[in-house]
């Protein structure tokens, strides 16, 4: 009997040692992966970050044990300038399962029932994808095209360069009359294009290029290639629908982050309203942002709307909430403002930002 007891005792001890070894091994791997991931991540202002977003549902926040291996999936995510990087990416399937249930099991927001054809959400500071729905689907970008128009204008013009606004009768659906015949700085034309989404201003910027409109659009496409925008192509600087004009939610996220690196452009897309004039100061123009969330939600810092018959409603929004920069892109939406407002609340309901050590502690 003593021999049997002794043998069982040794077996139990061996099993316990084995389990402890496995747990320590898993923890060591997770910490190493998390630290490696965090060390690689920088936001658009080149500030190194130390915390990463993790689904609350994956952590032991209620005192119940969970497997540390399920805290986050390690996937490959495209970096800001199309550089591949290993990121902590939320398991969107698990997200979808829990998104519509509150603490009292009451449906509050069904992320699987969005009208938007395409959605992409990213934590900008860590370049972490938080959610996507058809993020690579090719769709019409509408006036979000003007983000690229502004970026190219910044590349080739000085802000104080003066443009004489021409009559542009050959462009269908182009409403003119606001600036025609005036001499306006590039600075003010970019403001008009991004704040009030002026098609006339976008075309004026393109037509100023010495080689003409088509050459300017070629510059737009060249820049798209350099930024790694695989689903994006432009045929006009304003965003009018046609067979060649296209982009995706993921591409627009990359494009938006590029714009936000520019101090001047970042300030423009965060402007609710402004008065601009021609160089004489005689002709004044009142600009009002087309983004209905700007100025209403204080955490909104930009950036651009887009609306056409073919594209429906497009909206790119960056939030700075609780010290986190969250970028949300919706395309082909029937209710872009309502859905974007719910999506940003959903992000902070579902995610918590932790250091690698905190992840292990809470797990």
Q: Are residues 253 and 107 in the same domain?
A: no
Number of domains in the chain: 2
pLDDT digits (tens, 9 = 90+) for 1-27: 545 445 566 667 777 777 777 666 655
Q: Is residue 108 part of a domain?
A: yes
SS3 assignment, position 43: coil
**Which CATH number is 255's domain given?**
3.40.710.10
Q: Are residues 74 and 131 in the same domain?
A: yes
pLDDT of residue 90: 41
pLDDT of residue 132: 96
User: Any idea which of 47-61, 155-169, 205-219, 238-252 has the lowest mean pLDDT?
Assistant: 47-61
Q: Is residue 335 part of a domain?
A: no
Mean pLDDT computed over every residue of the chain: 81
Average pLDDT over residues 90-96: 41
Q: Are residues 49 and 63 in the same domain?
A: yes
Q: Are residues 23 and 54 in the same domain?
A: yes
Q: Rounded to 5 degrees, what are φ and ψ at 175?
A: -80, 120
Find out whether 173 and 143 touch, Cβ atoms under 8 Å.
no
Q: Are residues 258 and 159 in the same domain?
A: yes
Q: Are residues 87 and 164 in the same domain?
A: no
pLDDT digits (tens, 9 = 90+) for 190-213: 999 999 999 999 999 999 999 999
Q: Hey, which residues does 277 pair with through a beta bridge?
A: 284
Q: Are residues 129 and 151 in the same domain?
A: no
Q: Are residues 78 and 148 in the same domain?
A: no
SS3 assignment, position 332: strand
Q: Is residue 210 part of a domain?
A: yes
pLDDT of residue 178: 76
Out of 29-33, 79-83, 253-257, the most confident range is 253-257
Average pLDDT over residues 164-168: 86
Q: Is residue 68 part of a domain?
A: yes
Q: Which residues have a Cβ under 8 Å from the Cβ of 261 and sit 6 or more positions away?
A: 44
Determine how many CB atoms are found less than 10 A away from the CB of residue 355. 16
pLDDT digits (tens, 9 = 90+) for 125-148: 999 999 999 999 999 999 999 999
pLDDT of residue 8: 63
| Measured distance CA(293)–CA(337) in Å, rounded | 7
Q: Is residue 316 part of a domain?
A: no
pLDDT digits (tens, 9 = 90+) for 331-353: 999 999 999 999 999 999 999 99
pLDDT of residue 301: 96
Q: Are residues 214 and 306 in the same domain?
A: yes
Give 63's pLDDT tier (boundaries 50, 70, 90). Answer: very low
Q: Rounded to 5 degrees, what are φ and ψ at 326?
A: -115, 130
Q: Are residues 154 and 247 in the same domain?
A: yes
Q: Are residues 257 and 276 in the same domain?
A: yes
User: Which residues constitute the domain of residue 148?
Assistant: 142-310
Q: Is residue 241 part of a domain?
A: yes
Average pLDDT over residues 224-243: 97
Q: Are residues 174 and 284 in the same domain?
A: yes
Give 307's pLDDT tier (boundaries 50, 70, 90). Answer: very high
Give 295's pLDDT tier (boundaries 50, 70, 90). Answer: very high
Q: Is residue 328 part of a domain?
A: no
Q: Is residue 347 part of a domain?
A: no
């Amino acid at each position: 009997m003593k021999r049997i007891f002794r043998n069982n005792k040794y077996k139990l001890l061996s099993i316990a040692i084995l389990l402890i070894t496995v747990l320590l091994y898993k923890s060591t791997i997770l910490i190493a992966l998390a630290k490696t991931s965090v060390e690689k991540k920088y936001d658009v202002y080149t500030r190194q970050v130390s915390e990463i977003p993790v689904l609350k549902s994956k952590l032991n926040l209620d005192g119940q044990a969970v497997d540390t291996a399920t805290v986050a999936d390690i996937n490959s995510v495209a970096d800001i300038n199309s550089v591949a990087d290993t990121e902590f990416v939320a398991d969107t399937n698990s997200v979808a399962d829990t998104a519509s249930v509150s603490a009292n099991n009451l449906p509050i927001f069904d992320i699987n029932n969005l009208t938007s054809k395409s959605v992409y959400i990213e934590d900008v500071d860590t370049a972490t994808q938080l959610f996507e729905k058809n993020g690579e689907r090719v769709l019409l970008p509408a006036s979000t095209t003007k983000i690229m128009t502004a970026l190219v204008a910044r590349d080739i013009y000085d802000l104080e360069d003066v443009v004489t606004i021409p009559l542009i009768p050959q462009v269908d659906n182009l409403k003119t009359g606001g600036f025609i015949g005036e001499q306006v700085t590039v600075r003010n034309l970019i403001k008009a294009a991004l704040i009030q989404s002026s098609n006339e201003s976008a075309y004026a910027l393109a037509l100023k290029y010495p080689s003409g409109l088509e050459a300017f659009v070629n510059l737009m496409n060249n820049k798209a290639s350099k930024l790694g925008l695989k689903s994006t192509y432009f045929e006009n600087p304003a965003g009018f629908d046609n067979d060649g004009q296209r982009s995706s939610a993921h591409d627009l996220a990359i494009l938006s982050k590029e714009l936000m690196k520019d101090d001047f452009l970042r300030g423009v897309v965060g402007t609710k309203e402004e008065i601009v004039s021609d160089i004489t100061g005689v002709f004044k123009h009142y600009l009002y942002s087309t983004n209905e969330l700007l100025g209403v939600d204080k955490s909104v810092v930009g950036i651009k709307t887009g609306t056409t018959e073919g594209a429906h409603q497009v909206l790119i929004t960056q939030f700075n909430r609780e010290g986190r920069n969250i970028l949300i892109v919706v395309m082909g939406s029937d209710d872009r403002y309502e859905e974007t407002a719910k999506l940003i609340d959903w992000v902070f309901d579902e995610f918590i930002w932790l250091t690698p050590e905190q992840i292990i502690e809470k797990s």
